[in-house]
Structure 1
């Protein structure tokens, strides 16, 4: 079952189409990474999923129900979210902030203590939020999103501005939610390295258009193995390889070849040596996820 489905989802501001014909499928129980460069339309898409922004065109189904004015509130009772940055009253304590949310959502008071423990803020619940660090404020925002133990949790750039320790803590917490509470988590980011360590399904958008959607394993599968050869004269070596019908192209001082068996690779190096060409380096390479991400996003991404 897909907990979120969109069909032909569009959002236009003036003459600019910020989200273009987006078809998303978020499997239940997954950590779904929503990737794209800054300004690609991630936050706009998430706001449309939550009913905060009205789509120009297209359909949205959340938890099996069409998201519209008639059932939006009923759907959102089962959804938690943290969009852009957490909201809070700085003069109140963390616990007092959560009590306001708890009252508005009509959830049990005991949930406050539980979510503070989940986000590891139980020792700071009596401290004014104005004195919280940025990481603590992010965790308080996550605690507010978790208060009702939602079936779906939507997080927009949850590690923004955190130090390495805070990023690691947030990542571990997000990864634990599906197994501990049966939640589906949608987490957006412009950092591939973050999503690579959290998600099991990935969607990548560029200028509002979906350019990839599949499992993280499938994204890894797009990285192609190849051989990189460097000789004392690459131009001559390339001609020799073409004689033997070995496809190759030159790239940054190396000849890029397909993966060859050990026997054929050994034959080629002997052949090059017989033509007085020295083999300086022959190595197996694999295209990195960053390279694939840059190709998909038109080299406009922050890594």
Structure 2
């Protein structure tokens, strides 16, 4: 699968602060790529550099297999839709009129206006002034504007920010439908792991401007490790016995952590401890959650999980 977006050594420095540090993004064509990280990690800055709204300090950006430069940027942007931070609109105009302004500027057919209104489920509100739209409706209008012309690449920066649970669910469903319905690649940023987990198939995690993980969502889930937690009447004695038997183990508060064992081996271990006079009080299976992995990768700086 070809990469529709690729950055190499991408950096952005403001004064003495390096906000993005040698970022190597690889966004496969047809994917929903979740760009995940705490607030202030450099996500918006990165997306703005891809769109040419911010000039990189160093590094290169390729979109659709071509390195972006001052000569081809506008041609490239004709195939890209974006919603960065909060949507822009004219409050005194209706939703339909706002989209027609964007349609004219982008030079796309007028019929696209009515198609995208239907896609984001605003066709019934198209004649209403945007000043009277709810926040969720304004977000959907921003998505509609980004969809005009049905671009190959859609870049969305925190599209569920400020929405209520129903609005989040609706936005998520819309985004998830785009690759299959229109063949789009979606690059969506968020600080919410739960959102990316329900939308994306590929993930990049950024911390303080550096990429700390990039792979499929399935691979991220595989980092979730299973182990056993053992509590005994004499943890010190149990640890000594386990180490003598060369069983990998470590103490964590009132428990001894063991690698995952199948049932026969677990039963054998319990018999071994009891046979040596150590009472087994509790044995439970534990799994490191996706949230734990995210917090480890981002240094515990997640704003919201």
- In the superposition, the TM-score normalised over structure 1's length comes to 0.98
Is 1:14 aligned to residue 15 of structure 2? Answer: yes
| 1:125 pairs with 2:121 | no
Unaligned stretches of 5+ in structure 2? none
Partner Cα separation in structure 2 for residue 157 and residue 235 of structure 1: 49
1:152-205 C-alpha deviation (Å, 9 max, x unpaired): 000000010111111111111111100000000000001111101100000011
Deviation at 1:272, TM superposition (A): 2.0
Name 2:107's counterpart in structure 1. 106
Q: Per-residue deviation at 1:235? A: 2.0
1:145-294 maps to which residues of 2 (within 5 A)?
145-294=146-295
SS at match of 1:276: coil
Q: Which moved more, 1:59-68 or 1:43-52?
A: 59-68
| Deviation larger for 270-279 or 48-57 | 270-279
With 30-39 and 237-246 compared, the bigger mean Cα shift is at: 237-246
Report the Cα offset of residue 121 of structure 1: 0.7
In structure 1, the residue matched to 2:77 is: 76
After TM superposition, give the deviation of residue 67 of structure 1 in Å: 1.1
| Per-residue deviation, 1:260 | 1.8
Structure 2 Cα separation of the partners of residues 117 and 168 of structure 1? 17
Greater CA deviation, 219-228 or 44-53? 219-228
Paired residue for 1:64? 65
Aligned residues: CA RMSD: 1.0
For residue 44 of structure 1, what is the aligned residue in structure 2?
45
Equivalenced residue count is: 303
Corresponding position of 1:34: 35
Counterparts of 2:34 and 2:12 in 1: how far apart (Å)?
A: 21
State the Cα distance separating 1:233 from its structure 2 match.
Answer: 2.5
| In structure 2, C-alpha distance between the alignment counterparts of 1:161 and 1:280, rounded to whole Å | 47
CA shift, 1:234, in A, is 1.9
